[in-house]
């Protein structure tokens, strides 16, 4: 949406309050709708809604959810990152290589995350210093990171020894009191932390200001360049963490994994109410967006529908979600 087209004359605080609730509740309603539809369609609603299936869906959501946390911060700031799929592969391979080299699992995990952060920092530098628009800078990085992943892995999957790092994405974890996969807890913690960061810190306010009006942000004395470096680096760290989760799920480092995942991540943010023109979005919304897509995938699988049907449905949902968001926003034109 284009903020400058909003007529300042329309002052309807009550309607705006209603719209704000709709904006927050909208993705929730979407999620309930998706779950409801599949419960009805499915011959066996109990199976779709079973605790076991919910655990599977949540475990499947972890990678996209972690990526969506980083992407939400980037998109709120008015940016975009197309590299997460490649970064997930690269950091997964780095983490696997570290494990194979007998590094302690925690160190291997940190190595994977650090690689993601470094890639993000480089994206930030090319955006601020080389003045390449984010779309192009990260499109370039999509190729570079994927190539690096293939190079350092010798274009082969990297097998890893059995450590606790392999059980991050197990839907039925061994200490059964965990209830859901450890990765789900990690993603939830990261999401809560990011939501607080965006809502309650000066950094978060600056991110929103940057996306809402970059010129005004600069005039208010915000170091917009430095801020972008932080934003893309934090995003990169989270994509790196998603990569470690991906490796844990596959139990090997695979340089060809997660092709196109960046689009799922962006879709999750957009379904959750994020605006590609910046200044708008929420972690909670993005998490629900990620779950909507996971439930869709899972539902289609349970129904036995082929892959291409899933792709068509998810594609349609993305457009519908954004169209619904436009309807909820007053005074905007396409």
Partner 1 sequence: MGDSTTQALQPPLLQVVGVRKHFGATRALDGVDLEVHRGRVHAIIGENGAGKSTLLNILSGAIRPDGGSIRFQGLSYHPSDPLEARQRGIAYIHQEISLCPHLSVAENILLGAEPRRRGWLDQRKMNQRAGEILKLFRHPNLTPECRVADLTLPERQIVEICRALAQHPSLILMDEPTSSLQRSDVEKLFEFIRNLRDSGIGIIYISHFLEEVREIGDEFTVLRDGKTVLSGRLQDVTDANLITAMVGRPLQEFFPAAARVSTSESVLSVEGLSSGPGVHDASFNLLRGEVLGISGLIGSGCTELLRAVFGLDHADGGSVSVFGKPLALRGGPQTRIAAGMGWLSEDRNGEGLALTLSVADNISLTNFRTCSHGGWIDLAKQRQLTKQCADAVNVKAPSMTVPVQFLSGGNQQRVALARLLHQGCKVFLLDEPTRGVDVGSKKQIYELIASLARSGNAVLIVSSYLPELFGICDRLAVMSRGYLSPARPIDEWTPETVLQAAIGSDVNGTSLSGAIPG
Q: Which residues bind partner 1 (CB under 8 A)?
A: 3-4, 6, 8-13, 16, 200-203, 205, 208-209, 212-213, 215-223, 279-280
**Shortest Cβ distance from residue 267 to partner 1 (Å)?**
22
- Which residues are 159's β-sheet partners? 252
Instruction: Decide: 138 and 146 in contact? Cβ < 8 Å.
Output: no
**Shortest Cβ distance from residue 17 to partner 1 (Å)?**
8
Which secondary-structure segment (H or E) carries 54? helix 51-76
Q: Which is nearer to partner 1, 218 or 251 (CB)?
A: 218
Nearest to 296 by CA among 334, 264, 332, 255: 264
121 vs 100: CA distance, rounded Å:
27
Instruction: Decide: 318 and 42 in contact? Cβ < 8 Å.
Output: no
Q: How far is CA 275 from CA 72, 106, 122, 267, 281, in A?
A: 9, 36, 24, 11, 6
**Shortest Cβ distance from residue 184 to partner 1 (Å)?**
27
DSSP secondary structure letters along 128-147: HTS---HHHHHHHHHHHHHH
**Shortest Cβ distance from residue 209 to partner 1 (Å)?**
5
Q: Which is nearer to partner 1, 142 or 207 (CB)?
A: 207
Q: Which is nearer to partner 1, 52 or 331 (CB)?
A: 331
Sequence-distant (≥ 6) Cβ neighbours of residue 311 within 8 angstroms: none
Q: Which is nearer to partner 1, 101 or 215 (CB)?
A: 215
**Shortest Cβ distance from residue 163 to partner 1 (Å)?**
36
Q: Which is nearer to partner 1, 10 or 33 (CB)?
A: 10
Q: Which is nearer to partner 1, 145 or 227 (CB)?
A: 227
**Shortest Cβ distance from residue 217 to partner 1 (Å)?**
7
**Shortest Cβ distance from residue 110 to partner 1 (Å)?**
24
Where on the phi/psi map is residue 7: left (φ > 0), alpha (ψ -120 to 50), or beta?
Answer: beta
Q: Which is nearer to partner 1, 11 or 102 (CB)?
A: 11
Can you list the pairs that 1-4 forms with residues at least 24 positions away whose Cβ atoms lie under 8 Å? 1/275, 1/277, 1/280, 1/326, 1/329, 1/332, 2/277, 2/332, 2/333, 3/212, 3/213, 3/277, 3/279
Nearest to 208 by CA among 237, 239, 200: 200
Q: Which is nearer to partner 1, 49 or 133 (CB)?
A: 133
**Shortest Cβ distance from residue 198 to partner 1 (Å)?**
11
């Amino acid at each position: 949406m284009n903020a400058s087209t909003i007529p300042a004359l329309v002052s309807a605080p009550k309607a705006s309050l209603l719209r704000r609730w709709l904006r927050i509740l909208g993705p929730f309603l979407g999620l309930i709708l998706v779950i409801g539809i599949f419960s009805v369609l499915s011959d066996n609603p109990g199976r779709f809604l079973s605790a076991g299936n919910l655990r599977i869906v949540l475990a499947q959501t972890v990678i996209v959810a972690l990526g969506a946390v980083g992407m939400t911060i980037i998109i709120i700031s008015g940016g975009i990152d197309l590299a997460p799929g490649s970064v997930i592969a690269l950091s997964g391979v780095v983490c696997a290589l570290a494990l194979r080299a007998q590094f302690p699992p925690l160190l291997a995990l940190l190595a994977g995350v650090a690689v993601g952060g470094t890639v993000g920092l480089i994206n930030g530098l090319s955006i601020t210093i080389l003045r390449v628009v984010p779309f192009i800078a990260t499109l370039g990085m999509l190729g570079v990171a994927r190539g690096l992943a293939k190079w350092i892995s010798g274009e082969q999957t990297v097998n890893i020894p059995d450590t606790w790092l392999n059980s991050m994405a197990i839907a039925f974890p061994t200490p059964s009191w965990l209830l859901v996969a450890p990765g789900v807890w990690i993603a939830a913690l990261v999401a809560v932390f990011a939501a607080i960061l965006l809502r309650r810190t000066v950094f978060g306010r600056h991110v929103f200001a940057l996306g809402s009006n970059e010129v005004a942000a600069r005039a208010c004395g915000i170091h917009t360049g430095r801020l972008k470096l932080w934003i893309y680096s934090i995003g990169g760290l989270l994509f790196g963490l998603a990569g470690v989760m991906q490796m844990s799920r596959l139990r090997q480092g695979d340089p060809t994994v997660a092709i196109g995942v960046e689009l799922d991540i962006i879709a999750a943010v957009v379904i959750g109410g994020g605006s590609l023109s910046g200044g708008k979005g929420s972690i909670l919304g993005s998490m629900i967006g990620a779950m909507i897509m996971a439930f869709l995938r899972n539902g289609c699988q349970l129904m036995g529908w082929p892959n291409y049907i899933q792709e068509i449905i998810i594609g349609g949902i993305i457009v519908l979600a954004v169209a619904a968001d436009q309807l909820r926003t007053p005074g905007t034109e396409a």
